[in-house]
Amino acid sequence: MEVASELNWEASVASQVKPKSLWEELAEIIEEFVEFLEKELNITDAEVKAEMHLENMKQRKMEVDSKTEAAKQSSIEDDIDEIETTLAQLKRELGL
């Protein structure tokens, strides 16, 4: 008798609850999977934040290095232009 009442109660609760969309079910499954991985791999939020911070720092360093290299290149090109201009001016003054 208890089993029948339990099934009736579950059926009445199920009929009152709005069915979940596919996306909601998928989100729950993914959340459970992530929790499982975190537990099995002993990953903590602090470790994840530290890794994200480290990755952000690496990205920033690469950006700065790239900008520095570009600045060096443009500086060299500016120097070459200045040297060529000075050389051309000297040739004119010497009549060459």
Q: What tens digit of pLDDT does each residue of 53-83 get? A: 888 888 888 888 887 877 777 777 788 888 8
pLDDT at position 47 = 76
With a cut of 90, say whether residue 1 has pLDDT above it. no
Q: Is pTM beyond 0.75 here?
A: no
Q: Does 89 map to a domain?
A: yes
CA distance 67 to 44: 35
Structural domain count, the chain? 1
What is the domain extent for residue 85?
44-96
Residue 46: Cβ within 10 Å count: 8
> What phi, psi does 84 have (nearest 5°)?
-65, -40
In this structure, is residue 21 part of a structural domain?
Answer: no
